[in-house]
A and B are shown apart, each in its own frame.
Chain A
Amino acid sequence: MEKKRTKDIEQMLEQAAVRGGMRRLAGDLEADGRRWLAARRRRKTLTLTAAHTVTLAFMLVAVQATVQRAEAPVEYNKVTVGAGADPAQALACAKEIFSA
């Protein structure tokens, strides 16, 4: 009788230890998971900040170009040419009638 009781107590203690271990393990896993999520969120924020910097730079360049274009003085004899054309030749052709 005494022997059986001792065995039962040992078994109960063993089970309690297992439960405690599992709880600790679950706690560790949860902490790991939280850390991983926080790290992922941090990486996401960093990536978005980098993308934001790039698009902001593009936007500022575009705004500056638009302002410069609006404020630019009149550009004389500005030549635009099509495929295979020479700007100097196009200008000479346009000036032909004005040459002496």
Chain B
Amino acid sequence: MRRWLNTVLVVAVVAEAAVALWLWQAQRRAERSELHPLFLRYEHCPDVAAGFVKNLRIADTVTIDAVTLQAKDTATWFQLLENMELPHATMKEIREKYIEGKNNLHFYRMPKKTATYTQTETIDRKDFVVLDPKELSICVYDVENDIQEDILLEKQFEKISSTNKKI
């Protein structure tokens, strides 16, 4: 009798441990899958402080995911820009303005490389990138719909207008 009980207990222990391990790993996988590939790329980079903001509230009912990258020095920041494959003209403009001491925000639309598109989405959707030479930071907004895009464009317009007024 006791021999059967021990066999049942061994089977139960193994099954419970397997279920617990599987659930724990599934949860960990789910958490990691929420992160943006760009964040995962720079997560362990010592010269870049990488951050990922999930569900950043940009309007009452609108949220967006954002990746923030902050370089430790100018060289790293320009290296980051090069890694992001910015057009040559944009890079040149940013460099020139940086040398002139004009640390304005720069805006750039980066083509999505890792996104999976559904039939309802337009193929040419791009991520919204804000480059801040003053803080040596890059913020990439993961644009997924037109509402997010409209809000970001509106904010871009407001920022540019306020900068022009200051000048």
Chain A residues engaging chain B, CB cutoff 8 angstroms: 41-42, 44-45, 48-49, 51-52, 55-56, 58-59, 61-63, 65-66, 69, 74-87, 89-91, 93-98, 100
Contact = CB atoms under 8 A, between A and B. Distances in A.
Which interface residue of A41, A75, A80, A84 has the most chain B CB atoms within 10 A?
A80
B45 A82 contact: yes
A24 B50 CA distance: 80
Nearest to B138: A93
Contact of A48 (B9, B44, B50, B162): B9
16 contacts: A45-B2, A59-B16, A63-B19, A76-B55, A76-B57, A79-B53, A81-B49, A81-B52, A82-B43, A82-B44, A84-B49, A91-B56, A94-B51, A96-B130, A97-B105, A97-B159
B55 A78 contact: yes
B27 interface: yes
Contacts of B137: 93, 96
Contacts of A55: 12-13, 16-17, 20
Interface of B: 2-3, 5-6, 9-10, 12-13, 16-17, 19-20, 23-24, 26-27, 30, 35, 39, 42-46, 48-58, 63, 66, 68, 70, 105, 130, 132, 135, 137, 139, 152, 155-156, 159, 162
A50 B51 CA distance: 43
A85 to B, nearest CB: 4
Contacts, number: 144
B58 A98 contact: yes
A49 B51 CA distance: 45
Contact of B2 (A41, A58, A80, A93): A41
Given A77-B55, A81-B50, A93 B20 contact: no
Contacts of B68: 90, 93-94
